Amino acid sequence: MKFLIDAQLPALLKEILLSLGFEAMHVEELPNGDETNDKEIAQYADNEGWIVVTKDADFYHAHMIHSQPSKLLLITTGNIKNRALFDMIRAHALTFRNLFETCDYVELTLESVIAHKS
């Protein structure tokens, strides 16, 4: 499972995901770095088989309307400390793995992980 982390999330999230056995890349590693627009990120993710990880609701809307990106992990925790986010990612890693086998859109909230059928 491969995760492409959007610009507003910390680059260190890549290391957390790698330590959990996932492939991970931050948009800073794309040719245009954090200047890469959302459409280009979604196209890259779809072409290369990545799941976009973001807090950006624009990706949610694009996924729901255009199915792009085709796979989305939307973080709707609001503003929390990075450490808390990393702990949540660690705690739910197996859940993400299982849900993305059958779902295209998964949401991480403060209270739970929600699988959405899109």
Mean pLDDT of 41-59: 97
Mean pLDDT of 49-60: 97
Percent pLDDT > 90 in the chain is 94
Mean pLDDT of 62-89: 96
- The pLDDT-based confidence of 37 (bands split at 50, 70, 90) is very high
- CA nearest 15: which of 77, 110, 90? 90
DSSP the chain: -EEEE-TTS-THHHHHHHHTT-EEEEGGGSTTGGG--HHHHHHHHHHHTPEEEES-HHHHHHHHHH--SSSEEEE---S--HHHHHHHHHHHHHHHHHHTTT-SEEEE-SS-EEEE--
pLDDT at 44 over 70: yes
The pLDDT of residue 118 is 58
Mean pLDDT over all residues of the chain?
96
Mean pLDDT of 49-77: 97
Using alpha carbons only, give the angle 35, 11, 116 rounded to the nearest 5 degrees.
85
Mean pLDDT of 56-78: 96
- The pLDDT-based confidence of 105 (bands split at 50, 70, 90) is very high
The pLDDT of residue 34 is 85
With 0-12 / 13-18 / 19 or more C-beta atoms within 10 angstroms meaning exposed / middle / buried, residue 65 is exposed
